[in-house]
Structure 1
Amino acid sequence: MNKISRKYMAAIAAVCAFMLAQPAYADGDIKCNAGPSKNWKPIAKLKKKAWMEGWELLKVQVEGDCYEVYARTESGQAIEAFFHPVTLKKLVVYRRGSEIYRAPDFSG
Protein backbone atom coordinates (compact mmCIF):
# COMPACT_ATOMS: atom_id res chain seq x y z
CA MET A 1 0.00 0.00 0.00
CA ASN A 2 1.22 3.46 -0.71
CA LYS A 3 1.13 6.39 1.72
CA ILE A 4 -2.11 7.86 0.33
CA SER A 5 -3.98 4.55 0.62
CA ARG A 6 -2.83 4.13 4.21
CA LYS A 7 -4.07 7.61 5.10
CA TYR A 8 -7.47 6.92 3.53
CA MET A 9 -7.75 3.56 5.26
CA ALA A 10 -6.87 5.14 8.60
CA ALA A 11 -9.43 7.89 8.05
CA ILE A 12 -12.12 5.39 7.08
CA ALA A 13 -11.34 3.25 10.14
CA ALA A 14 -11.58 6.30 12.41
CA VAL A 15 -14.93 7.35 10.92
CA CYS A 16 -16.31 3.82 11.28
CA ALA A 17 -15.18 3.59 14.88
CA PHE A 18 -16.79 6.94 15.64
CA MET A 19 -20.07 5.93 14.01
CA LEU A 20 -20.22 2.57 15.79
CA ALA A 21 -19.29 3.85 19.24
CA GLN A 22 -22.16 3.87 21.71
CA PRO A 23 -22.51 6.91 23.91
CA ALA A 24 -21.87 6.27 27.58
CA TYR A 25 -24.75 8.52 28.56
CA ALA A 26 -28.11 9.39 27.10
CA ASP A 27 -29.40 12.89 27.56
CA GLY A 28 -33.09 12.29 27.13
CA ASP A 29 -34.07 15.94 26.69
CA ILE A 30 -35.53 15.92 30.18
CA LYS A 31 -37.85 18.79 31.15
CA CYS A 32 -38.26 19.49 34.86
CA ASN A 33 -40.58 22.51 34.64
CA ALA A 34 -38.70 23.91 37.61
CA GLY A 35 -39.61 27.56 37.31
CA PRO A 36 -37.26 30.45 38.09
CA SER A 37 -33.78 29.48 39.26
CA LYS A 38 -34.08 31.76 42.32
CA ASN A 39 -36.32 29.02 43.82
CA TRP A 40 -33.83 26.22 43.18
CA LYS A 41 -31.97 24.53 46.01
CA PRO A 42 -28.19 24.91 46.02
CA ILE A 43 -26.15 22.36 44.07
CA ALA A 44 -24.28 21.59 47.31
CA LYS A 45 -27.46 19.99 48.70
CA LEU A 46 -27.77 17.86 45.57
CA LYS A 47 -24.16 16.75 45.92
CA LYS A 48 -24.85 15.65 49.48
CA LYS A 49 -27.99 13.77 48.38
CA ALA A 50 -26.06 11.93 45.66
CA TRP A 51 -23.28 11.13 48.13
CA MET A 52 -25.89 9.71 50.54
CA GLU A 53 -26.96 7.34 47.73
CA GLY A 54 -23.39 6.05 47.67
CA TRP A 55 -22.50 7.68 44.37
CA GLU A 56 -19.05 8.98 43.48
CA LEU A 57 -19.73 12.30 41.78
CA LEU A 58 -17.93 12.99 38.54
CA LYS A 59 -19.80 16.12 37.42
CA VAL A 60 -22.85 18.11 38.49
CA GLN A 61 -24.36 20.75 36.22
CA VAL A 62 -27.51 22.54 35.15
CA GLU A 63 -29.00 21.01 32.00
CA GLY A 64 -31.98 22.98 30.73
CA ASP A 65 -34.18 23.41 33.79
CA CYS A 66 -32.88 20.31 35.63
CA TYR A 67 -29.86 19.35 37.66
CA GLU A 68 -27.79 16.71 35.89
CA VAL A 69 -25.39 14.41 37.72
CA TYR A 70 -22.69 12.21 36.24
CA ALA A 71 -21.55 9.65 38.79
CA ARG A 72 -20.43 6.13 39.55
CA THR A 73 -22.56 3.87 41.70
CA GLU A 74 -21.17 1.84 44.58
CA SER A 75 -20.72 -1.04 42.13
CA GLY A 76 -18.72 1.19 39.77
CA GLN A 77 -21.36 1.68 37.07
CA ALA A 78 -21.28 5.02 35.24
CA ILE A 79 -24.66 6.77 35.36
CA GLU A 80 -26.32 10.00 34.34
CA ALA A 81 -29.16 11.21 36.57
CA PHE A 82 -31.57 14.12 36.45
CA PHE A 83 -32.99 15.80 39.56
CA HIS A 84 -35.69 18.42 40.01
CA PRO A 85 -33.85 21.55 41.19
CA VAL A 86 -36.59 22.73 43.57
CA THR A 87 -37.39 19.42 45.30
CA LEU A 88 -34.12 17.56 44.53
CA LYS A 89 -36.29 14.57 43.64
CA LYS A 90 -34.52 11.98 41.49
CA LEU A 91 -36.43 11.91 38.20
CA VAL A 92 -34.55 9.75 35.68
CA VAL A 93 -31.34 7.70 35.69
CA TYR A 94 -29.53 6.40 32.61
CA ARG A 95 -26.76 3.83 32.33
CA ARG A 96 -24.98 3.17 29.02
CA GLY A 97 -27.70 4.91 27.06
CA SER A 98 -30.59 2.98 28.65
CA GLU A 99 -33.08 4.29 31.15
CA ILE A 100 -32.77 2.31 34.39
CA TYR A 101 -34.99 4.42 36.65
CA ARG A 102 -37.87 6.84 36.21
CA ALA A 103 -39.87 8.37 39.07
CA PRO A 104 -43.38 6.89 38.98
CA ASP A 105 -45.14 10.24 38.56
CA PHE A 106 -42.62 11.81 36.17
CA SER A 107 -43.35 12.10 32.46
CA GLY A 108 -40.90 14.85 31.42
Structure 2
Amino acid sequence: MFKTALAGALTLAALSSLALSSPALADDDNAACTKEPKAKWMTTEAISAKAVAAGYKDVKKVKVEGTCYEVYAKTAKNERAEVVMNPMTGDVVKVETSE
Protein backbone atom coordinates (compact mmCIF):
# COMPACT_ATOMS: atom_id res chain seq x y z
CA MET A 1 0.00 0.00 0.00
CA PHE A 2 2.79 2.41 0.97
CA LYS A 3 4.67 1.74 -2.32
CA THR A 4 1.51 2.41 -4.35
CA ALA A 5 0.84 5.67 -2.51
CA LEU A 6 4.47 6.74 -2.90
CA ALA A 7 4.47 5.94 -6.62
CA GLY A 8 1.24 7.89 -7.06
CA ALA A 9 2.63 10.87 -5.16
CA LEU A 10 5.83 10.86 -7.23
CA THR A 11 3.84 10.66 -10.48
CA LEU A 12 1.63 13.54 -9.37
CA ALA A 13 4.67 15.60 -8.39
CA ALA A 14 6.33 14.96 -11.75
CA LEU A 15 3.20 15.91 -13.69
CA SER A 16 2.71 19.03 -11.58
CA SER A 17 6.25 20.23 -12.20
CA LEU A 18 5.84 19.59 -15.93
CA ALA A 19 2.60 21.58 -16.03
CA LEU A 20 4.17 24.45 -14.13
CA SER A 21 7.21 24.55 -16.40
CA SER A 22 5.21 24.66 -19.66
CA PRO A 23 4.12 28.31 -19.43
CA ALA A 24 7.70 29.30 -18.72
CA LEU A 25 8.84 27.51 -21.86
CA ALA A 26 6.24 29.33 -23.92
CA ASP A 27 7.45 32.64 -22.50
CA ASP A 28 11.02 31.75 -23.44
CA ASP A 29 9.95 31.08 -27.03
CA ASN A 30 8.17 34.42 -27.22
CA ALA A 31 11.07 36.21 -25.55
CA ALA A 32 13.22 35.11 -28.50
CA CYS A 33 11.51 37.82 -30.54
CA THR A 34 10.67 40.91 -28.50
CA LYS A 35 9.00 42.36 -25.45
CA GLU A 36 8.38 45.68 -27.19
CA PRO A 37 4.79 46.80 -27.84
CA LYS A 38 3.39 46.24 -31.33
CA ALA A 39 3.29 50.00 -31.92
CA LYS A 40 7.10 49.92 -32.15
CA TRP A 41 7.30 46.92 -34.49
CA MET A 42 8.39 47.09 -38.12
CA THR A 43 5.50 47.10 -40.58
CA THR A 44 4.48 43.91 -42.33
CA GLU A 45 5.73 45.45 -45.58
CA ALA A 46 9.16 46.08 -44.04
CA ILE A 47 9.29 42.51 -42.66
CA SER A 48 8.34 41.17 -46.09
CA ALA A 49 11.19 43.18 -47.64
CA LYS A 50 13.60 41.82 -44.99
CA ALA A 51 12.50 38.27 -45.85
CA VAL A 52 13.19 38.90 -49.54
CA ALA A 53 16.58 40.40 -48.66
CA ALA A 54 17.32 37.25 -46.63
CA GLY A 55 16.76 35.13 -49.76
CA TYR A 56 13.09 34.20 -49.50
CA LYS A 57 10.74 34.78 -52.44
CA ASP A 58 7.05 34.77 -53.23
CA VAL A 59 6.02 36.08 -49.81
CA LYS A 60 2.39 34.98 -49.50
CA LYS A 61 1.48 36.13 -46.01
CA VAL A 62 2.88 37.91 -42.96
CA LYS A 63 1.08 37.45 -39.66
CA VAL A 64 1.64 38.10 -35.98
CA GLU A 65 2.31 34.98 -33.92
CA GLY A 66 2.87 35.77 -30.26
CA THR A 67 5.68 38.32 -30.12
CA CYS A 68 7.02 37.41 -33.56
CA TYR A 69 6.10 37.78 -37.20
CA GLU A 70 5.52 34.61 -39.22
CA VAL A 71 6.28 34.95 -42.90
CA TYR A 72 5.02 32.39 -45.40
CA ALA A 73 7.25 32.34 -48.48
CA LYS A 74 9.42 30.12 -50.70
CA THR A 75 13.10 29.31 -50.30
CA ALA A 76 15.67 29.63 -53.08
CA LYS A 77 15.10 25.88 -53.64
CA ASN A 78 11.36 26.59 -54.10
CA GLU A 79 10.41 24.90 -50.81
CA ARG A 80 7.57 26.30 -48.72
CA ALA A 81 8.97 28.15 -45.73
CA GLU A 82 7.46 29.37 -42.50
CA VAL A 83 9.93 31.99 -41.34
CA VAL A 84 9.69 33.37 -37.80
CA MET A 85 11.16 36.87 -37.65
CA ASN A 86 11.94 39.38 -34.93
CA PRO A 87 9.51 42.28 -35.45
CA MET A 88 12.00 44.87 -34.18
CA THR A 89 15.08 43.91 -36.21
CA GLY A 90 13.78 41.70 -39.00
CA ASP A 91 16.25 38.99 -38.00
CA VAL A 92 15.26 35.40 -38.78
CA VAL A 93 14.60 33.54 -35.52
CA LYS A 94 13.46 30.15 -36.87
CA VAL A 95 12.66 28.52 -40.21
CA GLU A 96 10.54 25.47 -41.03
CA THR A 97 10.49 24.21 -44.60
CA SER A 98 8.47 21.65 -46.54
CA GLU A 99 8.20 20.68 -50.18
Range of TM-score over shorter length: 0.5 to 0.7
RMSD: 1.6
Question: What is the alpha-carbon distance in structure 2 between the residues aligned to residue 64 and residue 43 of structure 1?
Answer: 15
Residue 75 of structure 1 corresponds to 77
Divergent runs of 4+, >6 A: none
Helix, strand or coil at the partner of 1:50: helix
Residue 44 of structure 2 corresponds to 43
Residue 17 of structure 2 corresponds to none
Q: Shift of residue 74 of structure 1?
A: 2.0
Q: Deviations over 1:15-66 (max 9, x none)?
A: xxxxxxxxxxxxxx64123321111111111111112224211211111110
Structure-2 change in CA distance of 1:63 and 1:35 (3 Å): same
Which runs of 5 or more structure 2 residues have no equivalent in the other structure? 1-25
* TM-score for both structures, normalised by structure 1: 0.56
Percent of aligned pairs sharing the same letter: 31
Question: What is the alpha-carbon distance in structure 2 between the residues aligned to residue 64 and residue 54 of structure 1?
Answer: 22
Question: What is the alpha-carbon distance in structure 2 between the residues aligned to residue 90 and residue 36 of structure 1?
Answer: 19
Query: Is the radius of gyration larger for structure 1 or structure 2?
Result: 2
Tell me: higher relative CO, structure 1 or 2? Use CA pairs within 8 A at least 6 residues apart. 1
Does residue 33 in structure 1 map to residue 34 in structure 2? yes
Amino acid at match of 2:44: I
* TM-score for both structures, normalised by structure 2: 0.61
Q: Which has the higher helix share?
A: 2
Amino acid at match of 1:82: V
Which runs of 5 or more structure 1 residues have no equivalent in the other structure? 1-28, 97-108
